[in-house]
Amino acid sequence: MRCWGFGCEWGGADFGPVGDPPYLNDPAAVARGLTITLLTETAISFVSNSGDTRRGYSLPAPVADTTIEFDVVTDNTLYFRLDTSTNLDPTDHIEIISPLAAGTHHVVATIPAHDETYQWMGFLTQVIGQNVQITNWRVTLPVVPAHPLQPYFDSGTIVIYFDTDGATLNGSGQVIGLTNRGAGGAAFNATVSGNPIPLTGNAMQMSSTTGNCIMATAADIMDVRMMWACSTEGMVSSMRFMGSASDEIRIGAIQAGSPPSAFLQFWSNRSGSGVSINPTPRIPIPTSGMHLFESEMSYASQYLTAWFDGPQVATIGAVAHTAFTVDRIGQGTGSTLQFVGQMGGVLGVLTGRPDTAAAIAAVRSYWTTRFGLVLT
């Protein structure tokens, strides 16, 4: 079995608590207008004073769906809210629970959905001289369900997996990198070279002016089922899907029809003179929507096969390659005719393994839901 020219780094389970629990004595906590008489991970006592117009205690806000439980004694109204600052502002905030009247309370609260600007969670007092004691502070972080493809990451059968859930974004919400969630690990992480790539829904909106995703390590895709989900409305003849310095996968000359058709073309310059391999017959190229492309180049049988939206659509024998590499997404051997459209996901499934067929079926099922594919 050929494994991308590298030993595989096995991926760990992609589930468990999200983030760190906010303890009451968090180093980032901010007290304003308070005299604190007790502070531990699970308890705090304070009296509000005149040292600040906003008299409250703020902690870094946890993610939505975090459960927070505590007991509290207060001698005046107490607010527990999310805010964009430690002001715990009277208007620009989200109430986690209804205001607590003077008395003793047992509170179980769930953090509501909020955007990233709500960075603080805090208690705001009503008056100067208010006494508050909070005890038995307990935080339960939400658990992220296992990724639908996790069994195949763990078994090492899906070595490379990119989608926008694993994207690194800049301050404008544009993609500047992709984390490989497959078994190959960080060796195959990708960084955007050139302009950041905007998002359209859960896909990268690639164009002639955006950059392309360059992997840290080139992957040998012999004996690998490559699968990628992308849009087709902007496709032109010879547009590149992916490639490396010596190899590329692209669309051949598109012929008119309903729908138009083309070869899924594999070009290599390893021999010093460019050679294209075109599995036949031609495959349909719909003029709209997201679609699933698959290809597999066999080192053992020397066959190259293509699938489109589910069924096998083309094949060719006598493929005289011992290696075919990919280290860039949306670009071939150069900058000519880079991919234009929405690129939703790219992955590689090792062939010849006991769970290869199951992994391919799981990808098709998951991506059908994720990208609205219509498979036949």
Sign of CA dihedral 94, 100, 101, 102: negative
pLDDT, mean of residues 220-239: 94
Q: Average model confidence (pLDDT) for the chain?
A: 90
CA distance 49 to 318: 83
Greatest CA separation for the chain: 86
More confident site: 204 or 270: 204
Given a cut of 50, whether residue 175 has pLDDT beyond it is: yes
Residue that has been written with the tokens 């003029």 in this structure: 287
- How high is the pLDDT of residue 277? 80
Given a cut of 50, whether residue 11 has pLDDT beyond it is: no
Q: How many CA atoms lie within 13 A of 243 on its CB side?
A: 27
Given a cut of 90, whether residue 374 has pLDDT beyond it is: yes
Decide whether 19-141 matches 150-371 in CATH topology. yes
CATH topology of domain 150-371: Jelly Rolls (2.60.120)
For every residue of the chain, which 3-state class applies, written as one string?
A: CCCCCCCCCCCCCCCEECCCCCCCCCCCCEEECEEEEEECCCCEEEEECCCCCCCEEEEECCCCCCEEEEEEEECCCEEEEEECCCCCCCCCEEECCCCECCEEEEEEEECCCCCCCCCEEEEEECCCCCEEEEEEEEEECCEECCCCCHHHHHCCCEEEEEEHHHEEECCCCCEEEECCCCCCHHHHCEEEECCCECEECCEEEECCCCCEEEEEEEEECECEEEEEEEECCCCCCCCEEEECCCEEEEECCCECCCCCEECEEEEECCCCCCEEECCECCEECCCCCEEEEEEEECCCCCCEEEEECCCEEEEECCCCCCCCEEEEECCCCCCCCCCCEEEEEEEEEECCCCCHHHHHHHHHHHHHHHHCCCCC
Phi, psi (deg, nearest 5) at residue 358: -65, -40
Given a cut of 70, whether residue 367 has pLDDT beyond it is: yes
More confident site: 44 or 278: 44
Q: Tens digits of per-residue pLDDT, 88-119? A: 987 789 999 999 999 999 999 999 988 888 99
Residue 217: pLDDT band (50, 70, 90) is very high
**Domain 19-141 class in CATH:** mainly beta
Given a cut of 80, whether residue 321 has pLDDT beyond it is: no
- How high is the pLDDT of residue 268? 86
Pick the range with the lowest mean pLDDT from 92-106, 183-197, 270-284, 302-316.
270-284
- How high is the pLDDT of residue 146? 81
- How high is the pLDDT of residue 2? 33
Given a cut of 80, whether residue 170 has pLDDT beyond it is: yes
Q: What is the CA radius of gyration of the chain?
A: 27
CA distance 39 to 271: 71
pLDDT, mean of residues 4-19: 38
According to DSSP, the residues that pair with 214 across neighbouring strands are 191, 328
CA distance 249 to 346: 13
Q: Tens digits of per-residue pLDDT, 19-32? A: 567 899 999 999 99
Residue 10: pLDDT band (50, 70, 90) is very low
Q: Where are the domains of the chain?
A: 19-141, 150-371
- How high is the pLDDT of residue 15? 42
- How high is the pLDDT of residue 73? 98
- How high is the pLDDT of residue 240? 95
Question: From the centroid of its chain, how far is CA 130?
Answer: 46
- How high is the pLDDT of residue 195? 97
- How high is the pLDDT of residue 132? 98
Cβ 346 vs Cβ 241: under 8 Å? no
CA distance 287 to 99: 55
CA distance 33 to 54: 7
* Prior bond of 281 cis (ω within 30°): yes
